[in-house]
A and B are shown apart, each in its own frame.
Chain A
Amino acid sequence: MKKYEYTAHTADVGLRAFGRTEAETFENAALGMFNLLCDVSAVEPRKTLEIALETADEEENLLADWLNELLFLYESRDMLFSRFRILELSGGKLRAEVSGEPLDRTRHELGEEIKAATYHMLRVRRSDDGWTAQVIFDI
């Protein structure tokens, strides 16, 4: 099963992620985002962090919150991530474990600079054979 694909947007970059479950779709979206930031295959899962998020409004928005949380950790802690495990995703709550390592410029080549995951055309939908999520990044 395809994990994610990039979609066309004039100024920015769109991402469509797929999964058998909603949780897997969120994991794949994070992977797709980090593959824009760097070459994920070069990022060793040496250190694991826990993430807990909550939203009072539509659950779909958790997708942007989740990706923005990861962007914040990347930029403020200098951490790249390559493994994403959603432990809980229901009732407006998300819990996850993410693994990666500190940025090392000798081994990690950086790609795009992402300012944010936006809410424009943000979608998380159940499809016939699983789930699809769509997000547009501000680059």
Chain B
Amino acid sequence: MTGKTRETGNDIREISPGCYELPPTGEMKVPGRVFADRELLTQASREQALEQVRNVACLPGIEVASMAMPDIHWGYGFAIGGVAAFNMDEGIISPGGVGYDIACGVRLVRSDLHADDVVERLPALVHELSRSIPAGVGRKGDIRLDRRQMEEMMSRGVPWAVDRGLGWKEDLDRIEDGGVMAGADPDRVGKRARERGFAQSGTLGAGNHFIELQLVEMIFDDEAAAAFHIFEGQLCLMIHSGSRGLGHQVCTEYVKVMAGAAAKAGIRLPDRQLACAPLGSREGEEYLGAMACAVNFARTNRQVMTHLARQSFEAIFRSSAEALGLELVYDVSHNLAKFEEHIVDGRLMKLCVHRKGATRAFPPGHRDLPQIYRKTGQPVIVPGDMGTASYLLKGTETAMDVSFGSTCHGAGRVMGRRAAKKQISGHELRLRLEADGITIRAGRDSALAEEAPEAYKDIDQVVEVCQRAGLSSKVARLKPLGVIKG
């Protein structure tokens, strides 16, 4: 890592609408490609994000380009918003390219309720949700699993939870991979990762994680909205959470293992955080076995929280979750590495696609999509900041051609956490959001300030750039009504 940030100079050019190419220099094996507009690109070039895109392009076996979605910002190792696909012959798997919060992701639950009809009861619902779902730093859940149960959960994922009455059979179709990532090997999850994750099952966590009640404010695509059972004026619930301490510890441990593996394989690392191992190597296989466990843990967590949320709705509306129509729309993971088939230079190839702060966005007809969405394309859920909006999008054919079937994952930060805390008063922000009709439950006002709308890019702009570049297509815009933060 040179530590230098290059300005967007003449070497960067727009090769197609909304796609900027960074030509290969130095040890880059492929170009970098950033999906952005001028403003977003300039924001990214002010920090080290573009340097990070270039660094990833130096890794062995990378195909086509080291990419970044429009919500790109400076991360550690990979840029946030990064997408990189590696071939099976020379390619690698990198825990840093997945991130510490393995399978951090978002799910959207719809309802039959019109927000207007229930507006008086929303504060009570927010209160009930915050009471029943453990949120905040270091919060523990009510679920305590013994060793065997923990292993079953890590191996079987959400179907395990559904078998225990923590969800509906219909939920499974509406989660990537049917809620269970294959290849999970609990023996690869160390004692320490289990200890760290033990008490956190079914908990929200802190940072940018949240539960929101949202109003479907605008529909852009009537047909897709109907397929996703979404209508204007509808009350929905969004959950953003990850694999908690278990995933964090798995990543921490395997970044160390991979540093050794990279050295053994003669891979030169531009940044130690990019530590990786060849696909098919022992270290690579072990990480993939552990990663799948963390993925199953993360998705099960979101499932458990969904179950608790359904119970909260039942308590407030005195009706069953089924009668309230509380169906899962979809659950996406935006920190993940997956084996997928893509066409490269006219050839169908199996690739290991890393998405670090990017969302899979498969097109209509893709065989990995469940029947219910096969015709429409994959629902893509993009959380925005708590004062503005979130989006429901759908996957496109273009994304398969240009971004390995990927699009953005959120608004992307523009302001550091400490800067936000200095510039924004959490208390004033709370008052401002409440004046906008948003009910807030947050552990600390300072935590609110860190997540203030001003700390993020403009979600409308990010989604618009994705639309223009063809990475995804807008279905609906959702506005927050109630926010629960750790």
Interface residues of A (CB under 8 A from B): 6, 8-13, 37, 56-57, 61, 65, 68, 72, 75-76, 78, 103, 109-113, 115-116, 118-122, 136, 138-139
Contacts and interface: CB of A to CB of B under 8 A. Distances in A.
B252 interface: yes
Interface string B445-468: 010000000000000000000000
B261 to A, nearest CB: 12
Given A110-B136, A113-B205, 12 more contacts: A8-B419, A9-B74, A13-B416, A56-B260, A57-B259, A72-B252, A76-B192, A115-B101, A118-B96, A119-B273, A138-B101, A139-B417
Given A8-B419, A76-B192, A138-B100, A118 B138 contact: no
A11 B99 CA distance: 13
A111 B256 CA distance: 27
Contact of A120 (B77, B206, B207, B418): B77
Contact of A136 (B76, B207, B248, B443): B76
A43 to B, nearest CB: 14
A10 B205 contact: no
B434 interface: no
A116 B138 contact: no
B259 A113 contact: no
A122 B256 CA distance: 14
A139 B252 CA distance: 13
B310 interface: no
Nearest to B255: A119
A120 B73 contact: no
A119 B80 contact: no
B417 A110 contact: no
Contacts of B49: 10
Nearest to A65: B256
A57 to B, nearest CB: 6
Contact of B416 (A10, A112, A115): A10
Interface string B240-279: 0000010011011001100110010000000111010000
A9 B416 contact: yes
Contacts of A72: 192, 195-196, 249, 252
A118 B253 CA distance: 11
Given A11-B413, A139-B417, A115 B77 contact: no
Given A6-B418, A9-B416, A120-B271, A111 B245 contact: no
Interface residues of B, number: 49
A112 B417 CA distance: 10
B143 interface: no
Nearest to B75: A11
Nearest to B209: A113
B416 A116 contact: no
- Which of A10, A57, A120, A122 has the most chain B CB atoms closer than 10 A to its own CB? A10
A76 B190 CA distance: 13
Contacts of A119: 76-77, 255, 259, 271-273, 275
B137 A10 contact: no
A56 to B, nearest CB: 8
B1 interface: yes
Contacts of B478: none
B80 A11 contact: yes
B100 A10 contact: no
Contacts of B122: none
Contacts of B304: none
10 contacts: A9-B416, A10-B49, A10-B74, A12-B416, A13-B418, A78-B138, A103-B138, A116-B252, A119-B77, A138-B99
A118 B273 contact: yes
B486 A8 contact: no
Nearest to B245: A75
A116 B196 contact: no
A111 B263 CA distance: 37
B3 interface: yes
B232 interface: no
B47 interface: yes
Contacts of A37: 137
Given A8-B416, A113-B206, A119-B275, A138 B76 contact: yes
Nearest to B200: A75
Contacts of A122: 272
Contacts of A6: 418
A57 B260 contact: yes
Contacts of A75: 138, 196, 245
